């Protein structure tokens, strides 16, 4: 990655996995500030594992994670939240039986201040008018895209500097996908740094600033989204072949 760019989060030689199984074999990435960076890679490449490791949910076997210049490698998810990192996992993560409003409220639990939580909820509902409109509705009655927005809104309640978002467009129609991407772009424009995983590599890279390709738990490529999108091996990689892309950082 270009060293003139401000990097908010950096990993060096990050090794992690589940139990004794190593999935990430020494990952070096830099996440540029106030930009949208998309992580792509085949199924099982370790993309979600990388996010879980970044958010403090897995044991780190070696290497480091730094936020600005602070070592945050071994912080817990709660401590990561307090450092301004929010995480929206893959799949549906709302409480379907609760109202939209109550779902949002959960985002502020760690603030331990209901008044402040409510104030921030108002701000989030200004950003996401659909959540205000449906505030009293049961969350399960929202469309897939609206549910994703609820998850993102809930993550924003803590005013994160960095948003980790894993496959926000999964299961969404092209129209809803465009809505979610537009929302992420406006968040980026407001200064939030976003690291996103996307299966829909072409579409995601075409709206992103930077791209990172993971393959078998290793960084295969990174650079501007346009460089990654036009890299000769990328199409091959996503057609299921084994790419030979060596650290074209
Ligand atoms: N909880 C777990 N316990 C053990 N192994 C796991 C666990 N979760 C994932 N794995 C394994 O880790 C590897 C990487 O999985 P991961 O979910 O990070 O891939 P991914 O790149 O996000 O894939 P996808 O595009 O399908 O979401 C896979 O081999 C997977 O089987
Ligand atoms: Mg995944």
Residue 62 lies in a domain: yes
Predicted confidence at residue 91, as pLDDT, reads 87
Quick one: angle between helices 144-156 and 114-127, nearest 10?
130
Q: Ligand 1 pocket: which of 23, 50, 218 to mutate (most atoms <8 Å of CB)?
A: 23
Predicted confidence at residue 246, as pLDDT, reads 46
Q: Ligand 1 pocket: which of 47, 53, 171, 196 to mutate (most atoms <8 Å of CB)?
A: 47
Give the Cα separation of 249 and 229 in Å (integer). 14
Residues 168 and 112 in one domain: no
CATH number for position 6: 3.40.50.300
> For 26, which DSSP code?
E
Ligand 1 pocket, 52 CB below 6 A? Answer: no
Residues 124 and 239 in one domain: no
Residues 15 and 58 in one domain: yes
Residues 75 and 133 in one domain: no
Predicted confidence at residue 232, as pLDDT, reads 84
Count of domains observed in the chain:
2
197 CA closest ligand 1 atom index: 22
Residue 89 lies in a domain: no
Which domain does 132 fall in, by range?
94-159
pTM score: 0.92
Residues 103 and 41 in one domain: no
Residues 226 and 211 in one domain: yes
Predicted confidence at residue 56, as pLDDT, reads 97
Residues 155 and 200 in one domain: no
Strands across the sheet containing 193-197: 85-88, 162-166, 193-197, 36-40, 210-215, 218-224
User: Within the chain, which residues score under 50 in pLDDT?
Assistant: 239-249
Kindly give the distance from the C-alpha atom of residue 7 to the centroid of ligand 1, in angstroms, as a whole number.
Answer: 27
């Amino acid at each position: 990655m270009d060293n003139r760019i401000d990097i908010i989060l950096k990993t060096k030689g990050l090794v992690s996995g589940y139990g004794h199984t190593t999935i990430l074999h020494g990952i070096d990435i830099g996440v540029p500030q106030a930009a949208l960076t998309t992580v792509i890679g085949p199924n099982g490449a370790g993309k979600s594992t990388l996010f879980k490791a970044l958010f403090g949910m897995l044991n780190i076997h070696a290497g480091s994670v730094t936020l600005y210049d602070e070592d945050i490698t071994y912080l817990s998810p709660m401590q990561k939240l307090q450092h301004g990192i929010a995480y929206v996992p893959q799949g549906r993560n709302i409480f379907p039986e609760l109202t939209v409003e109550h779902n949002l409220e959960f985002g502020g639990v760690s603030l331990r201040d209901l008044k402040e939580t409510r104030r921030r909820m108002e701000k989030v509902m200004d950003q996401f008018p659909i959540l205000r409109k449906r505030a009293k509705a049961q969350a399960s009655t929202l469309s897939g895209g609206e549910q994703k927005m609820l998850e993102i809104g809930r993550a924003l309640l803590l005013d994160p500097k960095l948003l980790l978002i894993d496959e926000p467009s999964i299961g969404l129609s092209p129209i809803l996908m465009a809505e979610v991407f537009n929302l992420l772009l406006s968040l980026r424009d407001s200064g939030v740094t976003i690291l996103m995983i996307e299966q829909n590599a072409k579409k995601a890279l075409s709206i992103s600033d930077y791209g990172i390709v993971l393959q078998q738990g290793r960084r295969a490529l990174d650079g501007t989204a346009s460089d990654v999108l036009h890299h000769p091996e990328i199409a091959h990689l996503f057609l299921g072949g084994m790419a030979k892309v060596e650290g074209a950082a």
